A and B are shown apart, each in its own frame.
Chain A
Amino acid sequence: MKKTPKLLSFTDDLHIRRLTVIIFGWMIFIALTKFSKFYSLLNFQTMASQFPEFGLMSLGVMVTMITGGIDLSVVGIANLTSILNAFILLRFTDEMGSLPPGMILLVFALAVLIGALAGIFNGLLISKFHIPPILATMGSGELFTGICLAMTNGNAVSKFSRDYAQTINAKMFSIIPVQLIIFAVMALIIWFLLSKTSYGTKIYLLGTSSKAAYFSGLKVDTLIIKTYMLSGMAAALGGMIMLANYNSARADYGTVYTLQCVLIVVLGGVNPIGGKGKISGVVLAIILLRMLETGINRFPKISSYYISLIWGGVLILVMVLNYFSEKKVPAKVTEVPKDGTEKKD
């Protein structure tokens, strides 16, 4: 069997190649128009500390979409996690405004646990009660948000030790933001699970046909529960980054992220019907969206109200391009010339 080198196989994928081209196109455009305001280390660091919060949630949506489902509860899970941990941090903040050693690691471990439980809950609704994923996660997302509101009366939870935000907002080797590292670790773990383990192969096949998966003897229910658990964990980590970025937690933070995550995942080339999609595409889509938004913000004349408009436009553009490139692959269907089709005796 022929083997293509890793780097080449990365660009073999048409979709990924196209996303890369769009990113570079945008970078060139910005370089020509607003070079100094965009190309600074600080700006790149800022972007790298901003995108992990919704980037992590997008990773969650991605894995569920590969199984043919969707996770609309990622923001609810993120907020539930950040609020619960904000309370805990508040409790352990001493009069000097600092935290006991190891506390930050502990809340992260707790976050992963909360995310996992919330995800298992979603997975049970979908696999055992056969609720369509879109409804199950919409419902549970509302439920999680509702719990958050009930716990906080809609107020922000803040005034916990600044140590937390400072640690997460720190830069490793004074260059790389910690948020980016958390995102990269999670992305690597998911990449590994999807491409190197039997779990990955199974969920791609499950997403292709749950009927065939059942007849092949896969543990369909367990796979679904595991996948939503993974999604929940990614979302919870996103919540922990939100907690640091805002230095507070509130039930309605990040509500725009739900649809934005879906947009990113589809933009990244994941098939909404399931069975297809690569993490490299999703990561590129996350980066593209962040760069677009930051770039647009450099034009004071363009109000930030235009951003939805631009995102919608980009999504539709990519989908239309997909349609054409997918049509090109199978055998060409004939073109129909309009004239001279018929001659009469």
Chain B
Amino acid sequence: MGEKLLNALNIDKSFVGVHALNQVNFSLSSGEIHCLAGENGSGKSTLIKVISGVYAPDSGEIEFNGRHYQKMTPIEAINQGIQVIYQDFSVFPNLTVMENLALNSELADKRKWVNWKRIREIAEESVKKINFKVDLDALVGSLSVAEKQMIAISRALMFNTKLIIMDEPTTSLTKKEVHRLFEIILKLKEQGIAILFVSHKLDEVFEISERFTILRNGEIVGTGSTKELDQKKFSYYMTGREFNPSHFIPEHIEKDALFEARNISLEKHLRNISFELHKGEILGITGLLDSGRSELALAMFGAKQIDEGQWYKNGEPVRLDSVRDAIGQNIGYVPEDRLSEGLFLPQSIGDNIIISEIDKLTKLFGVMDKDKKEKEIDHWMKELSVASPLASNACQTLSGGNQQRVVLAKWLACNLDILILNGPTVGVDIGSKHDIHAILQNLARQGLGIIIISDDLPEVLENCSRLLVMKNGEIVANINTSTSDEKTIYSYML
């Protein structure tokens, strides 16, 4: 390992009423891969922003590359070789790959005229650094998430970079893509670049990083070599609580199918899908990102119309041609992208909970029954322990885990028979993830048919009693989770 590159001493930072960082000491060497972990609100983002110059610390000192700073400015940070790759990658979807790659250096050089040849050269050079093969003339908006990330990384490498900070880089990547990202990170390490990797996924922390630092409530609760870390310690550091993961064992599965798909086909996405869901079980569906798992979810919820096949509920054929059809059949759907599809973020928690059953909470002529509405909101906030003092607070004030509870509450309020969840704990911290799993297992025991679609294999193994593996639009395996393991499942996926 190289010499000390970054040394943050006694960093303190408060926002109105919140002590975001409390006497944090943090150090990093050249060529080190360091994982910064912590639940939402633990202060990791604040720490990144202090290091990259976005926030000035209230007290403390930063030493970078042998120079001392009371505070950084963003420009100074970039000049010194600190690059941050945020979750949204800050790329321009409407421009080509080439333009995206060259824009920063063009701007930095204050060039007034466009020279396409030079732009192409710059772009070619930058993708070569990480052996990234891509059509330079493609629009960035048409690329996959992983490719956008590669572009952000290539771009970050163009400035004599010494430290790259990646904010939850694996959130929307598939296993394969994560693997590829890690290869690139290792390559960067060889070049002496330090990587600060922000994540709360344990397997990643183990796989890639040499050292770790875990923050909780603005304080460092654990730091050291990753070798000394294990699952239990990690969860404890993250949450301050001890967990015992409990494999879901269904108590009573009814013999007759609650829901059935027979020979469902959807052009290009789904081929001849057939399966049954029984009352009381949790059925998992997994597969790579383009395996058709999301299309199947949307088709079950009526958001995508199938070309062939038939759905059955309680043995009767049913049509699921629209979202309203599905809701009419008491099917609920927790979407993949909670923020844009599942929630109305600036609106109140209360309205978010009752929106799907709102027509049942009215008196004559659609006039709201205020008492009934408040009772319903109160009931669901307590039932799912949504942590907020007021139901009239905006939904965006909640943490990821609590937001997901609101989405769950919205559907449970509709008195469902079947609940479909697509990536139910993406972006949710460990504590809430555990709680959401417990809620789902409990609901299944009460007789709700649950389908979890996820590529988080530990999650499906823990919670589902049966697992369907999808590949290229087909179901390639139907697995009993109590007798299987990640490796077997993974071999079906590829």
- Determine the distance from Cα of A249 to Cα of B15 in the docked complex, in whole angstroms: 60
In the complex, besides A208-B347, A341-B71, 8 extra interface pairs with C-beta distance below 8 angstroms are: A196-B368, A197-B366, A201-B351, A208-B345, A216-B410, A217-B323, A333-B55, A345-B67
- Partner-binding segment picked from B105-113, B114-122, B288-296, B336-344: B336-344
Contact B355–A341 (Cβ < 8 Å): no
| Residues of the A chain whose Cβ atoms lie less than 8 Å from the Cβ of B303 | 214-215
- Determine the distance from Cα of A74 to Cα of B300 in the docked complex, in whole angstroms: 41
| Residues of the B chain whose Cβ atoms lie less than 8 Å from the Cβ of A332 | 15-16
- Looking at B67, B327, B342, B347, the one whose CB has the most chain A CB atoms below 10 A away is B347
Contact A208–B346 (Cβ < 8 Å): yes
Task: Determine whether A6 belongs to the interface, using a CB cutoff of 8 Å to chain B.
Answer: no
- In B298-326, the 8 Å CB interface with A consists of 301, 303, 323-324, 326
- Determine the distance from Cα of A191 to Cα of B71 in the docked complex, in whole angstroms: 51
CB closest residue in chain A, given B72: A341
Contact B56–A202 (Cβ < 8 Å): no
Contacting residue for B347 out of A215, A275, A331, A340, CB 8 A: A275
Task: Determine whether A212 belongs to the interface, using a CB cutoff of 8 Å to chain B.
Answer: yes
- Partner-binding segment picked from B238-246, B357-365, B469-477: B357-365
| Residues of the B chain whose Cβ atoms lie less than 8 Å from the Cβ of A340 | 70
Mask, A318-340, CB within 8 Å of B = 1, is 00000000000001111010001
Contact A216–B362 (Cβ < 8 Å): no
Provide the main secondary structure of the chain B interface.
mixed
Q: Using A216-B410, A334-B55, A344-B67 as known contacts, say yes or no to A205 and B365 having CB atoms under 8 A apart.
A: no
- Determine the distance from Cα of A329 to Cα of B96 in the docked complex, in whole angstroms: 37
Task: Determine whether A138 belongs to the interface, using a CB cutoff of 8 Å to chain B.
Answer: no
- In B1-38, the 8 Å CB interface with A consists of 15-16, 18
Task: Determine whether A93 belongs to the interface, using a CB cutoff of 8 Å to chain B.
Answer: no
Chain A, interface size category, equals 20 to 34
| Residues of the B chain whose Cβ atoms lie less than 8 Å from the Cβ of A171 | none
Contact B327–A217 (Cβ < 8 Å): yes
Contact B344–A197 (Cβ < 8 Å): no
Task: Determine whether B401 belongs to the interface, using a CB cutoff of 8 Å to chain A.
Answer: no
Contacting residue for A215 out of B76, B342, B346, B368, CB 8 A: B342
Distance in Å from the Cβ of B304 to the closest Cβ of chain A?
12
Distance in Å from the Cβ of B395 to the closest Cβ of chain A?
10
| Residues of the A chain whose Cβ atoms lie less than 8 Å from the Cβ of B67 | 342, 344-345
Chain B, interface size category, equals 35 or more
- Determine the distance from Cα of A75 to Cα of B342 in the docked complex, in whole angstroms: 37
| Residues of the B chain whose Cβ atoms lie less than 8 Å from the Cβ of A204 | 347, 351
- In A196-228, the 8 Å CB interface with B consists of 196-199, 201-202, 204-205, 208-209, 211-219
Q: Using A198-B366, A212-B342, A331-B18 as known contacts, say yes or no to A345 and B66 having CB atoms under 8 A apart.
A: yes
Residues of A participating in the B interface, judged by any CB pair closer than 8 Å? 1-2, 196-199, 201-202, 204-205, 208-209, 211-219, 275-276, 331-334, 336, 340-345
Q: Using A209-B344, A331-B15 as known contacts, say yes or no to A336 and B323 having CB atoms under 8 A apart.
A: no
Task: Determine whether B86 belongs to the interface, using a CB cutoff of 8 Å to chain A.
Answer: no
Residues of B participating in the A interface, judged by any CB pair closer than 8 Å? 15-16, 18, 55-56, 66-71, 73, 76, 301, 303, 323-324, 326-327, 333, 335, 340-347, 351, 355-356, 358-359, 361-362, 365-368, 374, 390-392, 410
List 25 contacting pairs A-B, 8 Å CB cutoff, sorted by A. A1-B374, A1-B390, A2-B390, A196-B368, A197-B368, A201-B358, A202-B355, A204-B347, A205-B344, A209-B340, A212-B342, A214-B323, A215-B341, A215-B342, A216-B355, A217-B327, A217-B356, A219-B324, A331-B18, A332-B16, A334-B55, A336-B73, A340-B70, A343-B68, A344-B68
CB closest residue in chain B, given A271: B346
Contacting residue for B365 out of A197, A214, A336, CB 8 A: A197
- Determine the distance from Cα of A276 to Cα of B351 in the docked complex, in whole angstroms: 14
Distance in Å from the Cβ of B302 to the closest Cβ of chain A?
9
| Residues of the A chain whose Cβ atoms lie less than 8 Å from the Cβ of B69 | 341-342
Q: Using A1-B374, A196-B368, A336-B56 as known contacts, say yes or no to A216 and B356 having CB atoms under 8 A apart.
A: yes
CB closest residue in chain A, given B332: A217
